[in-house]
Chain A
Amino acid sequence: MSEKKLRIMVIDDENIVGKRLKPALEKSGYLVETFEDGETALARYDEEPFDIVVTDIRMEKVDGIEVLEKILAKSDRTKVIIITGYATVEVAREALSKGAFDFIAKPFKPDDLRTIIKRAANELRQ
C-alpha cells in the first residue's frame, strides 16, 4: 500500500499553527508545507499544486475565502478546509456554498483536523 503521499498546504497568519501542524500531520503520513499569508501560498500553489489546503479564514490582505475561490478556480479537485476563528453559521454557510470541503472552528485539537483531512483523503483516493 505504497500510495503517493498527499500534499497538504497549511495557511494561517498565526505562525504557531503551522509550526505545530507541520510535524503533527507529517506524522500521519502527509507532505506538509506551511504559509503565513495567502499570497505566498497561492504563488507556491502555482509552482506545484497541493491536494489539500487548510486555510484560516481571517487574514490580512488575501483572506481564506479568496484563497478558496482562487484555488478552486485553478483546480476543483483540491479539497479546501477552512479554519474559522469565530464560528458563525453565516461564515460556515458561505464557505461551504463556495465549495469548501469542510470547516473547523478554532480552537481545535490536532486529531479534530486529522479526522477531517482523513475524510478528504479518502474522497481524493476514491
Chain B
Amino acid sequence: MSHNHQRESGEERDAVDDLENIPLRSRPSISIRARIVTSFSLFILFCFAITCWSYWILSEMEKKIEFLEIVGKYMVEIQQARRFEKNYLLYGTNLDDALMHLGTADTILKRHSRTIRHILGAQHLKTIMENLSEYRKQLEMVGRTEREAAIQSLEPKLREYGGQMVSFADEIVKKEQKDVARMLLLAKRGPIFFVFVLIVMMFFVGNALIRQLMMALKRFMDYTKRIGEGDFSPIMPARKYRDEFTSLAEAFNRMIRELNHRQEVLIESHKLRAIGTLVAGVAHELNNPLNNSLLTASLLKEDFHTLTDEEKMEMIDDLISETERSQSIVKRLLDFARESKTSIKSLDLVEIVNESIRLVGNQIKLAKIRLDVDFEENLPRIHGDEQMLKQVFVNLLLNAIDAADKRGRVQISVRKDPESNYLLVTVKDNGPGIPEHLQSRIFEPFFTTKAQGKGTGLGLSVSQGIVRKLGGYIRLDESTQDGTSFTVSLPITYSPSEIMSR
C-alpha cells in the first residue's frame, strides 16, 4: 500500500520534471488577464441571467394576478346569473337580470380573451366559452317556455350546465392561486439562492486566482533568493501554460544570463590579478633552475677537457632535471592561467589543494610562512572545475599569507564532514583577524582593506560564486585577534549531474 503510494508520487515527480523541460516559449498561453476577464464575464453573465429570470417570473405573476382578477369578476357575474336563475325558478322573478349578468360575463371573457388564452390555453378558454353559451342557451330556452313546464323539463339540464360552468371557473381560480403562491415562493427564494451561489462562486474563483498569484509570487521570491546565492541556472517553472509570470520568468532568465556573464568576467579578472601576484613568485622560482642550468652548462664548457666522463654525465643529468623543473614550474602556472571553458570533472580534492599550495609556494617562502598541512586519507571524490577550485584555494591561501605576520603560520586541512556528505577544506592563519564590523562585508565584491594595487576585493566574492555553483558553500568560521579560519564545503558527488540538480 505504502509502496504503491510512493510509486505514484514518483510518477508525479516525473510529470513535473517533464513540464520543467518544456521551453517557456512553447507553452500554451493562458494569461492572468484572460483568466480575470473570464471570471468577471462569468459573474456578469450569471447576474444578467438571474435578473432576466426575476423579470420573467414577476411579469408572469403580474399576468396571473390580472387573470385572477378577471376570472374573479367573471365568477361574480355568473354567480349573480345563477342567483337570478334560482330566484326565477323559485319565485318567478325577472329572468332578464340573469341574462344581463351572463352578457356582462361574456363581455369580460371576450375583452380579456388574450390574457385568458395566454394563461389557460385555447382549449380551456373554449371550454369556458362553451359552458357559458350552453348555459345561456338553456336559460333562454327556459325564458321561452312556460315556467312550471320549464321547471319540470329544463331545470336539471340548467343546473348541470350552471354547476359545470361555476365549478370549472372555480377550479381554474384555485389552480391559478396555487400557481401564484408557488411563483411567489420562487421569487422570494430565487435571490437568496442566487446570492448563495454567487458567494460560493466568488469564493472558489477568487481563491483559485489568489492562490495562483501568491504561488507565482512566492516562486519568484524563491528564485531571487536562489539567484542571490549565486545559482545562475535558468529558471523553468513547472507549469503547463504561459501567462504574465512566464514573461517575468523570461525576463528573469535574461537577467540571470547577464549576471552569469558578469560573474564570469569577475572570475576572470580576479584570476588575472591572482596570476599577476603568482607571476612574481614564479619568476623568482624559475631563476633557481635557470641559474643551476647556466652554472652547470658554463662549467661544463669551461672544464670540458679536464672533467671525467662520469662528472660530465652527472652535469648533463643535472641540466636535464633542472630544465624539467623549469618546465613544470611554467606548466603549473599555465595550467592555472590558461583560458578554458568551465568543465566539470571528477576530482581528487587533495590533489587540487596540493597544486594550489604549490602555486603559492613562492609567496609562502617569501613571507617565510610555516605551512602545515593535514589531509585525511582515502577521501571520496568531488566534481568541479579544476581551475576555478584552484582559484578559490589560491585566494584563501593568499589572504592567509597576507594576514599572517612574517614568520606566521598557516594551516590547511582537508577532511570529510562526519555529519554530512561534504568534504571540508579549512584554511587557518594566525593573523590579526577581521574586525567584527567588517566581517559581514568581506564577501561583497570589491570589498578590500588592502592597499590599492594589492587587492581587488574580488577574491572571496568570486570564490563564493564558484563554490555555490558547485553546490557547496564557503564561510568564515571564526576571526579573532589570534587568527582567522575559512572553510570551504564541497559536496561528495558520483556524477556531474548531481551538482546541477542541487
Residues on A facing B (Cβ under 8 Å): 14, 16-17, 20-21, 23-24, 27, 58, 60-61, 63, 85-86, 105-111
5 shortest interchain CB distances as A-B pairs: A107-B291, A86-B284, A106-B291, A106-B287, A16-B292
Residue of A nearest to B315 (CB): A20
The reply on B295 being an interface residue by CB < 8 A is: yes
Is A106 touching B302 in the complex (CB atoms < 8 A)? no
Residue of A nearest to B314 (CB): A19
Is A110 touching B298 in the complex (CB atoms < 8 A)? yes
- Which residues of B lie under 8 Å from residue A111 when comparing CB positions? 298
- Which residues of A lie under 8 Å from residue B292 when comparing CB positions? 14, 16-17, 20
Question: Could you jot down 29 A-B contacts, CB within 8 Å?
Answer: A14-B288, A14-B291, A16-B292, A16-B296, A16-B318, A16-B322, A17-B291, A17-B292, A17-B295, A20-B292, A20-B296, A20-B299, A23-B299, A24-B295, A24-B299, A58-B365, A85-B288, A86-B287, A105-B287, A106-B290, A106-B291, A107-B290, A107-B291, A107-B293, A107-B295, A108-B294, A110-B298, A110-B302, A111-B298
Quick one: given A16-B322, A17-B291, A63-B368, are A58 and B298 in contact (CB under 8 Å)?
no
Select which of B280, B291, B299, B303 is within 8 A of A108 by beta carbon.
B291
Query: Which among A16, A109, A110 has the greatest number of chain B C-beta atoms within 10 A?
Result: A16
CA distance A20 to B283 in the complex (A): 22
Is B287 touching A85 in the complex (CB atoms < 8 A)? yes
CA distance A63 to B302 in the complex (A): 31
CA distance A53 to B470 in the complex (A): 53
CA distance A24 to B297 in the complex (A): 12
Residues on B facing A (Cβ under 8 Å): 280, 283-285, 287-288, 290-296, 298-299, 302-303, 318, 322, 365-366, 368
Q: Which DSSP category, helix, strand, loop or mixed, fits chain B's interface? A: helix
CA distance A6 to B135 in the complex (A): 169
- Which residues of B lie under 8 Å from residue A27 when comparing CB positions? 303
Select which of B287, B295, B366 is within 8 A of A20 by beta carbon.
B295
Is B287 touching A107 in the complex (CB atoms < 8 A)? yes
Is A58 touching B284 in the complex (CB atoms < 8 A)? yes
CA distance A126 to B36 in the complex (A): 106
Is B283 touching A86 in the complex (CB atoms < 8 A)? yes
CA distance A17 to B295 in the complex (A): 7
Known: A85-B291, A105-B287, A107-B295; 10 extra A-B contacts, CB below 8 A, are A14-B291, A16-B322, A20-B296, A24-B295, A58-B366, A86-B280, A106-B288, A107-B291, A110-B295, A110-B299
CA distance A107 to B299 in the complex (A): 14
- Which residues of B lie under 8 Å from residue A21 when comparing CB positions? 295
Select which of B287, B294, B318 is within 8 A of A109 by beta carbon.
B294
- Which residues of B lie under 8 Å from residue A60 when comparing CB positions? 365, 368
CA distance A17 to B288 in the complex (A): 9
Measured between C-beta atoms, what is the minimum distance from A23 to chain B in Å? 7
Residue of B nearest to A105 (CB): B287
Residue of B nearest to A13 (CB): B288
Is B280 touching A16 in the complex (CB atoms < 8 A)? no
